[in-house]
Structure 1
Amino acid sequence: METLGKVAVAIVVAVIVRWGWKLLNWVWLKPKKLEKWLRDEGYKGNPYKLLVGDMIGFATMMKEGKSKASPVTHDITSYALPFDHHIISKYGIN
């Protein structure tokens, strides 16, 4: 009976370690590997931020963009898509 308990504990620990590794790989290792690959290819951009990414900056720019009056010109990208406009003007189009 004692051996059965040790085996059960070992299985539970193995499952937890595997889930932990998958989570770490999904949340941190794969995005950092992709970021490194893109930088090696010559792409520039914001560094990876754990889970939230650029969402805080995106929300802030959308709020600022909606608070301003839109211009009476055909070039409204800075008002309609402020985050995209910011990224393209900062890093260029690739």
Structure 2
Amino acid sequence: MKKPDECSNIKDIRREIDAIDKEVIAALGRRFAYVKAASQFKTSETGVKAPERFHSMLQERRAWAEVVGLNPDVIEKLYRDLVNYLIDEELKHWQKKT
């Protein structure tokens, strides 16, 4: 993988961005596998939704964003949307088991 300043043209940049996006999507797939696995330890719909965990997770992701110079509002929205989707999927998985 090239560093940004090692890229000599836009094609290099796009290839590196595509590679990063592929890694991000693979990581999201791994994250989703853990979300589904977590449903086996939850005993209620409230446990699946885990509002306190959701709130604290968003605050932590905001802090992580600030550390690396990203806009925390954008990262919060991204994670809010992602995790709400994953909660819905986890609920479906959990309901099948009950």
Bin for the TM-score computed over the shorter chain: 0.3 to 0.5
Q: Which has the higher contact order (CA 8 A, sep 6+)?
A: 2
The structure with the largest alpha-carbon Rg is 1
Higher helix share: 2
TM-score normalised over the length of structure 2: 0.31
